[in-house]
């Protein structure tokens, strides 16, 4: 402050001595100029999309820069079933009133080939393993089959995988019958579309799984490092 007064006095070359009243007057002018500059800077920061946090004082609550965590993504499981019966899964039902669904078939243990039937109609077939799932969704199906009781019947037949390729319905059933002595299981999960594999809005977004009995399970954040 005093340095600025002396610089101002040197540039303006006054012909009289500086009185205490004049020093107070000039000091007030400098303070007002600094206050105006600070106000303008704060306005520019807010306009740029930042939030100015109040300075922390003794006794004030802690102020952090942490952003609010993204809202969890909830997926709804409508039905699940796993069996150890070699290559055969029956007795899985889900309510047809839930709208479009996605179905995932896994075959723990080893690579296999599976067929998926909905209300007695073969709708999908393909590889089925511990990691690679046979998937089916009916969001583009206008007429979704439903039983008289409002439930949808799901049936799966699986057998050890060999050369691959599409088979007829008769071939699928025959191969599954031939493999009935193999020790292999089948797991099926039915989700309300778009299901558990839909991309999250944010890589840190938690995934909440709601099961048919109403219980919930929070899963680890979905990875986004794979395109």
Over the stretch 16-45, which tens digit does the pLDDT of each residue have?
444 556 556 665 665 554 444 333 322 222
pLDDT computed for residue 10 by the predictor: 45
Query: What gap in Å lies between CA 37 and CA 159, rounded to an integer?
Result: 77
Query: What gap in Å lies between CA 220 and CA 213, rounded to an integer?
Result: 21
User: pLDDT by residue (tens digit) across 140-166?
Assistant: 888 888 999 999 999 999 998 866 689
pLDDT computed for residue 11 by the predictor: 46
Query: What gap in Å lies between CA 194 and CA 177, rounded to an integer?
Result: 33
pLDDT computed for residue 131 by the predictor: 85
pTM exceeds 0.75: no
pLDDT computed for residue 143 by the predictor: 84
Q: Which residues of the chain, if any, have pLDDT below 70?
A: 1-67, 69, 162-164, 197-202, 221-227
DSSP E strand boundaries for 84-199: 88-95, 101-106, 112-118, 121-128, 134-137, 151-160, 186-192
User: Measured in Å, how far apart are the chain's first and last C-alpha atoms?
Assistant: 59
pLDDT computed for residue 201 by the predictor: 66
pLDDT computed for residue 80 by the predictor: 94
pLDDT computed for residue 226 by the predictor: 55
pLDDT computed for residue 163 by the predictor: 66
């Amino acid at each position: 402050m005093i340095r600025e007064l002396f610089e101002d006095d040197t540039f303006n070359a006054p012909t009289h001595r500086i009185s205490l009243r004049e020093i107070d007057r000039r000091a007030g002018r400098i303070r007002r100029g600094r206050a105006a500059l600070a106000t303008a800077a704060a306005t520019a920061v807010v306009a740029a999309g930042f939030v100015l946090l109040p300075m922390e004082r003794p006794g004030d609550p802690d102020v952090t820069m942490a952003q609010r965590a993204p809202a969890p993504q909830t997926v709804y499981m409508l039905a699940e079933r796993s069996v150890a019966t070699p290559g055969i899964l029956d007795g899985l039902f889900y309510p047809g009133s839930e709208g479009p669904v996605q179905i995932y078939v896994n075959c723990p243990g080893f690579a296999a080939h599976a067929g998926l039937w909905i209300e007695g109609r073969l709708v999908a077939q393909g590889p089925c393993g511990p990691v690679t799932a046979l998937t089916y969704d009916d969001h583009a199906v206008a007429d979704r089959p439903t039983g008289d009781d409002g439930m949808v019947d799901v049936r799966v037949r699986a057998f050890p995988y060999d050369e691959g390729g599409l088979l007829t319905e008769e071939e699928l059933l025959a191969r599954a019958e031939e493999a009935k002595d193999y020790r292999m299981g089948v797991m099926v999960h039915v989700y309300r579309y778009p299901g558990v594999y839909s991309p999250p809005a944010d890589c840190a977004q938690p995934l909440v799984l709601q099961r048919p009995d109403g219980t919930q399970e929070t899963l680890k954040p979905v990875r986004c490092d794979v395109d």
